[in-house]
Amino acid sequence: MQKQISVEQARIGMRIVELDIRWLDSPFWRRGFTIKNQNELQKLKNCVNKITIDVEASTPESLAHLKRQRPAQLKENSKAIAEAKEPKDIPLKDRKGLIAAPELLSRKELQKIESHIGICVDEVKDLFTRVSEGNRVNCQKLTDAVSRLTDDALNDAASLLLLSRLKEKEQSLAEKSVNVCILTIAFAQYLELDKHNMHVLGLGALLHDIGMLKVPEYLLSYTGAMNKAQKQAIEYHVIDGISFVGLHNELSSIRELRDIIGSHHERYDGSGYPKGLKGDKIPYLARILGITSTYEAMTRERFYSDASSPTQALSKMYSWRSKLFDAKLVNQFIKALGVYPPGSMVKLEGGQVAIVIMINPENRTRPVIRILNKNLQVDDGHINEIDLLAPEMAHIKIASTLDDRELAKINEKITNGNETAVFP
């Protein structure tokens, strides 16, 4: 049985299984450990407020002072720990960040977030290059990059998500991994996961496809129907990803990381891989990553398919609830991103093209937008954000969302000087 207590109740002989801070910030390098002496006890008291102990693995002497607690209180503590693993469905009005950001950050703050994204991309590229070449890697830079993005998500997840969509897209595994990471921690912020779980989930998202580096190059660009051996070669990237974590002490000490990477391709109906896990047997954090990585893949243009618009992708995700994905998480994901997720391109009834800046939680069909100029660029000196929920903006209506293929056609018309066909 596990039990959460105040650090002031900690005693020598107790078996620690969880702290209320990130393990990367902990002076103890092991996730689980037994307090052996007064020095370790003092270190613990200096860095945390709450600890979770394994009662059966602790010495009787270390637990003696806790026996005065009422049974009801012990039961309540155990229930709180169990419920912490899967957050309750928090009322929409109480959510913060992704859908309820009151306004955009200042340009200076946005530039800071943008630089954090760039740093993370560079770190992942360097890591993947080193892994491909068989060289040693420094995972500390990766964890630092994820920490910065996690802080950004807690500050303003909507702006983080928007900037990641506006970045010039590459087809590299590193770019894709960073996009998945940003989307995942933004969703985790909406779910109100604690900072430790946000960080671990972000790190798992960043490394979830690192095993793809060992997949033969020809399979990565293969467009035909794959035979059984080819499918197995692709699916084995999950095992290689778990192996990568196991080979690095700074990663292998994070217990949840292997579950996240190893189970993000499992599907709710048991049709996934590598173990064919079903329903709640799939680790909770892996269920989150399964949704975000699928959505990112659907909305990213790939060599063998065009990108879906965010709205089209969300519609498909909704149809897969309870089949491929946890229905409750799918519903929360759609609520988090809204009908028009930040970064979506939309066409207005008047013919103009606009970009969605922010979601209005009161009415997701009326987001905050910025109308683009005739070159499909943001004109900073001409127009500010337009809140479609404002009464004076009731005449502005969204006609449709635009996917990459439709935007390409519009760009072609602009290039050919036929602007009137785009902006009547």
Domains of the chain plus CATH, in order, are 2-81 (no CATH), 98-337 (1.10.3210.10), 345-421 (no CATH)
Q: What are the angstrom distances between the C-alpha of 14 and each of 56, 70, 214?
A: 10, 20, 43
Among 233, 310, 335, smallest CA distance to 274 is for 233
Q: Is 33 buried (19+), middle (13-18) or exposed (0-12) by CB count in 10 A?
A: middle
Mean of all residue pLDDT scores within the chain = 78
| Residues 359, 362, 366, 368, Cα dihedral to 10° | -40
Which residue do the tokens 């078996």 mark? 15
Nearest to 206, CA basis, from 149, 135, 265: 149
pLDDT-derived band at 352 (thresholds 50, 70, 90) equals confident
Provide the percentage of residues in the chain whose pLDDT is more than 90.
20
DSSP helix/strand/coil, 34: strand
Give me the phi and psi of 349, to 5 degrees please. -60, -25
pLDDT at 24 over 60: no
Give the tens place of pLDDT for each residue, 191-219. 989 888 999 999 999 999 999 998 888 88
What's the confidence (pLDDT) of residue 73? 41
- Distance, in Å, from the CA atom of 177 to the CA atom of 212, rounded to the nearest integer, reads 11
Between helix 195-207 and helix 284-298 the angle, nearest 10°, is: 50
Single-letter amino acid code for the residue at 389: L
pLDDT attached to residue 354:
87
Q: Could you give phi then psi for residue 37, rounded to 5 degrees?
A: -150, 175
DSSP H helical ranges for 273-402: 284-298, 310-319, 327-337
Q: Write down the pTM of the prediction.
A: 0.64
Cα separation, 140 vs 183, in Å, equals 22
Mean pLDDT of 135-145: 83
pLDDT tens digits, residue range 253-296? 888 999 999 999 999 999 999 999 999 999 999 999 999 999 98
pLDDT at 202: 93
Least confident of 50-59, 169-178, 301-310: 301-310
Strand order in the sheet with 345-348: 386-387, 368-371, 353-358, 345-348, 398-402
What is the DSSP-derived secondary structure letter of residue 184? H
